Amino acid sequence: MLKTQIQMPDYLYREAKRIAEQYEMSMAEVVRRGLERVISSYPDRAGAPGEWTLPTLDLGLRVDPFENPDWREMASANLEEARR
């Protein structure tokens, strides 16, 4: 494991320290978890432009709501029902 030193604004340090205390983690663990989330949000740009594919998003839906060609009418009906 690598050891490093970082600089951060005071407010960021205070929030990280608060998270570490409330969730019983070390500051190093908070920073590692934060970096893991940032890294997963920024894909590697080194690949050729043609290699990129649109990421998939799993919303946990059992059926595709746009599969029905009348989805607009169904959405409108649901909205009107909710307003009553």
pLDDT in tens, 36-50: 999 988 887 776 667
* Mean pLDDT confidence for 16-28: 96
Q: What is the pLDDT of residue 15?
A: 96
- Model pTM score: 0.52
Rounded-to-integer distance, Cα 78 and Cα 84, Å? 10
d(C-alpha 8, C-alpha 15), whole Å: 11
Between CA 54 and CA 25 the distance in angstroms is 35
Q: Where are the domains of the chain?
A: 8-42
Three-state secondary structure call for residue 48: coil
Using the predicted structure, report yes or no on whether residue 5 has a pLDDT greater than 70.
Answer: yes
pLDDT tens per residue, range 29-78: 999 999 999 998 888 777 666 777 888 888 787 878 788 888 889 888 88
